[in-house]
Structure 1
C-alpha cells in the first residue's frame, strides 16, 4: 500500500528531469515540492528480513524558487527517512521547519540569498540563512539537524519527521557545527561550534537526559573553518587547519577561503569532560579535511583516520594553494584516506597515507564502533574534476588495517548518497550487516533504495535488494542509520 500526502505524479519520462543552466538546480539536483509517505515499497531482488531501523538523509531542497546565483548549499533542509522493519520498508520526507523558513513562509517569498551573493544586511544575527540542511544525527530519542556554517540545531521526531523546534538544550547551545558525535555506548552527544568572533570555537557534552554536562572555550588566535570532530572513549579531537576565511571577502559581505601553506595543522586532544587547561596540542603537516572516519585509543596514542584533500605541488616542495582553493570553492572532489597518531607520552605526531589510489569521501562506519577501534569503513567514490556538480557514482568498503578495498558501481551516472550501516540482528562481526542508501538510477530515471550485504566481499556483488520510489529524491548530503535497538532505548 502507498499512502500519499498529495497527489501522485505520473510516471517520469526521459525528458521530465528539470534542466537548468545552474548545475545545482539541474537534473536530480533540482528541488521537489511535495511531502509524501510511501508504505510497503515493492522490492526488486530479495529484501533481507534480519535487520530493522531507520535511515535518514538530509539535504538541500529550496522551498521558494531561487532567483539568485544558486549554490547547492543554499537549499532549505529536507529529511528523507526510510524505515526498515524485517522486510517491510516505508519512506517519508519533510522539510526542516527552521525559524528562517518560517519567516519566509510568513512573508510568502525568499528573504535570504546564498553563498554566491552578498549576505543579508538587515539581519546581522543571521546574515546567511541557517537552513539546517547538512547533517542529521540521532540523540536521546530525537533526530538533530545541523548546518555546515554552525548554527542553531533543530530537533525532529524520528517517526513523523515533524520539526519539534530548535534544540538549544536549556540555552546551553546557540549554535553547533554540522558534525556532532553521539556515543551509542554512553548516550552522550559531543558537539563543537565555530564563529567569526571570539570565542572562535567551543566544545561541549550533552548527556543522555538532554541536559548539558560540560562546555569549554577552545583557545584559538582567530577564526578558522573546521568541519568535523573526532571522539574516542575518553578523548575528543578538535581541528585547527590552516584554512581560514578571507578577511577582505568577509568585509565585503562575501564568503571565500584562504589556505596558508606555511602553517601546520593543529589538533586539540582534550579529555571528554576536560578543562581548557588539559588540552594537548599536536601539530602535523598542512592539510584540510572535511570528514573524520573514526578515532580510538591505542596504548599511549590517540589515533584518528579521515579523508583530507589531496595536496598537489605547483613546483617541488611548494603546495599549489590556488588549486586547493579552487577545488574547495568549485565543490570538486580530490581526497586521500589518511591516519594521524598523537602520542600522549611524547607529544609527537605520526601520520601516514592509508590509500592514495581511490578518490573517496563521506565515510561511514558501524555506529557501535564510534570512538572504538574499527577495521572497516564505507565511503562514496568520486571521479576527479567537475565544477559544482560532483558525481557520487559508487561505494567502497575499506580495510583500514591494510588499505585494501572492494568497490561497486552500476555506472558513472548513478548517484549514491551517503549510506548508512545497518547491523544484522545479533551481529557476529563488525561488518555483519547491510549498507543502505538512496540512489539515483539514470537508466530507469528513478530514485530507489538499495541494500547491500556488507559481510566479507559481498558489497562488490551489488545490491541484494532495490526498492523503486514513486517519485525522485533529489541528491543530498549526509545521512545516519539508527538501529532498532537504539530506537527502542528511547521509546
Structure 2
C-alpha cells in the first residue's frame, strides 16, 4: 500500500460548539490519498467481473469558515479495480479550481451553504458564490469520468484508471456555462444530455454533447422563475426536464441566507422535448406538487389507444421542505433527511394528460441504479439503497424492484453497517439486466473500516458472493458508477 499527499482534517464542531454528525464517525473525512493492492477477500471475486467501481462524495480538505454542511465537502473519488479475480483500491481528490486555490493558500477560502456567501469567491460560471466541489456524481463518457456538482458547475474530467484529474471539461471549447449534476449518457448513440440552471435568465438551458465530443445542440426553455431541478430523463426520442415548486426564498437570499421554499400551490411540471428539439417544441405536463432528486429511468410506450406515452420512474419526495426547528444545525439535519418512494409518471403525447401513482409505497428508498446500457429504454429492474430511519442519512441495505411482478428483494448490511449507491455491473458477456452483480462500499461504524461487497443482482437475498476488505475507511458519500472493461479498453490507445 502506498500513501500520497496527506491532507488536513475538517473540524468536528460547528461554531456553536455542537458536534456536527456529518463530520464524525462514518462521515468523517479521511486524511490520505492511497493506493492498495493484494486486498484480503472473503469469498471469491467472480472472474467475469472486470472493470472499475467508482464512487464520489464530500470530503472536506480544510476546516471551513463557519458551519459545515454535508454538501460542502471537496469531491473525493474512491475506486476499486477488478481484473481476473483480483482487486485494488485507490482514492483521490478531484483537483478542482477550488481545491487548487485552497491548497495554495493552506486554508479554506469559501464558507459553506449555511453561511452568508457574500465574502466568497465566485463558485461557478453564473457567479454563484458557493464552492464548486465536483463532489456529487460520476458519469462515464468518451473514455473519461466526469465529476459533477449538485448546484451545476464545471464538469471535471478524470482518468478512470489512475483517478488523476485531467482538468475542467469544456467539450473541445464548446461548453459555455455550467453542467448539471446528473447528465445522461446514451451508450447506444454516444450522446450526453445535460441541463444548467441559475437564479438569472436564462433560468434553464438544455444541451446535447454529440458522439464527437462537442456541444451540438443548446436551447433555453422558458421557466416562470428560478428553480432547483436536480435530475432529468431521456428516452429514445425525447428528454424530460423539470420545473418543480421548490426554490430558494428570494427574501432570505437578499439577506445572505440560503433558505428553500416548497410552494404547494404550484404543480410539479415536466417538460417533454424532442432530443434535439427547439425551445418552442417543449410540452409541459402538470402533476401533483413534489420534489425529485433522482430519476430511475424513462422510456416510450404505447398508451391506451396506441398513442405514445413517456413512462418515467422516479424516487419522489412529497415533503422536501425542512421541517426542523431550533438551531441551524437541527434545521440542516432536517433538510438533508431523505424520505422518498418509488413513483411512476405517464405523459401522454397525444392527449397532454398526466397519469401518476406509486410503484411502491412501503420502502423509503433512493440513489437508484439500472443497467446503464438500457438508459432511455424499457427496464425491468431498479437497484436502490434502503434509507434507514435515523437523524442522518444512512443506507442500511439494498432493494431490487421488479417492474414486471412488483416483487422487492432486499439485502441488509447488518447492524451498524452502511452502504453506498450500488451500480449494476453486467458480467462479461452478460446481456440481461440482472445477469451480473451489484457493487457497493460498506462501512462498519464500530470498527471504522470499510469493505466492498459483491452481490448477484438476480439474488440479493443470498448475500455477498465476495467481500473485499479495505485497509481504510471510505466515508459515506453520494453517487457511483460501474465502468466495464470493454469500455475502458475501447477508450484507450
Query: 2:342 — aligned with what?
Result: 337
Aligned match of 1:24: 22
- The correspondence of residues 295-374 of structure 1 with structure 2, limited to 5 A, is 295-299=298-302, 300-311=308-319, 323=323, 329-374=334-379
* Counterpart position of 2:130: 128
Paired with 1:184 and 1:453, the residues of 2 have a C-alpha distance of 23
Partner of 1:423: 426
Distance of aligned partners of 1:79 and 1:209 in 2 relative to their CA distance in 1, 3 Å threshold: same
Which secondary structure state, in structure 1, belongs to the residue aligned with residue 409 of structure 2? strand
Report deviation, 1:157. 1.1
**CA pair 428-324 structure 1, distance change in 2 beyond 3 A:** farther
Distance 1:173 1:384, change over 3 A: farther
**Does residue 382 in structure 1 map to residue 394 in structure 2?**
no
Distance 2:333 2:268 in 1: 17
Select 1:249's aligned residue among 247, 252, 264. Answer: 252
1:396-407 → structure 2 map (5 Å cutoff): 396-407=399-410
**Secondary structure of the equivalent of 2:56?**
strand
The structure-2 alpha-carbon separation of the partners of 1:231 and 1:209, relative to structure 1 and needing over 3 Å to count, comes to same
Query: What CA distance in whole angstroms lies between the structure 2 residues aligned with 1:228 and 1:40?
Result: 38
Q: Which residue of 1 aligns with 2:305?
A: none
2:228 matches 1:228 = no
| Distance in 2, Cα, partners of 1:439 & 1:122 | 35
1:334·1:384 contact (CA, 8 Å) conserved in 2?
no
Report the counterpart of residue 469 of structure 2 in structure 1: 468
Unmatched segments (≥5 aa) in structure 1: 8-17, 312-319
- Say if 1:396 and 1:407, in contact at 8 Å, map to a contact too: yes
Can you give the 5+ residue segments of structure 2 that lack an aligned partner in the other structure? 14-18, 303-307, 326-330
> Does structure 2 retain, via aligned residues, the 8 Å contact 1:333–1:383?
no
Q: Structure 1 residue 310: deviation in Å?
A: 3.7
Superposed displacement of residue 329, structure 1: 4.9
- 1:327–1:333 Cα contact (<8 Å) kept: no
Query: How many angstroms does 1:173 deviate by?
Result: 3.4
CA-to-aligned-CA distance 1:219-266 (integer Å, 9 cap, x gap): 101100100000111110001111111111111122111011111110
Q: CA deviation at 1:28?
A: 1.8
2:210 aligns with: 207
CA contact (8 A) 1:3 1:39 kept: no
Contact 1:47–1:464 (CA<8 Å) still a contact in 2?
yes
1:36–1:92 contact (8 Å) kept in structure 2: yes
Pick the aligned partner of 2:66 from 41, 65, 68: 68
Deviation at 1:55, TM superposition (A): 1.0
- Runs of 4+ aligned residues of structure 1 deviating over 6 Å after TM superposition are 324-328
Work out which of the residue numbers 151, 154, 169 in structure 1 matches 2:156.
Answer: 154
In structure 2, what is the Cα distance between the partners aligned to 1:464 and 1:471?
21
Q: Do 1:19 and 1:27's aligned partners in 2 also have CA atoms closer than 8 Å?
A: no
Q: CA RMSD in A?
A: 1.9
- Specify the alignment match of 2:188 in structure 1: 185
State the shift of 1:443 in Å: 4.9
Q: Is the Cα–Cα contact under 8 Å of residues 80 and 87 in structure 2 kept in the other structure? A: yes
Q: TM-score, normalised by structure 1?
A: 0.92
8 Å CA contact 1:55–1:479 kept in 2: the answer is yes
Greater Cα offset, 184-193 or 434-443: 434-443
Could you tell me how far 1:34 is from its partner in structure 2?
0.9
Matched, 1:277 2:280: yes
- Which of the residues 100, 111, 114 maps onto 1:113? 111
Indicate how the Cα distance of structure 1 residues 63 and 443 shifts in structure 2: closer, same or farther if over 3 A, else same.
closer
> Within 2, Cα distance between the matches of 1:186 and 1:141?
14
Q: Structure 1 residues 213 and 422, CA, compared in 2 at 3 Å: closer, same or farther?
A: same
C-alpha separation in 1, matches of 2:322 and 2:5: 48
Within the candidate set 28, 42, 45, 1:44 is matched to 42
**3-state SS of 1:485 partner:** helix
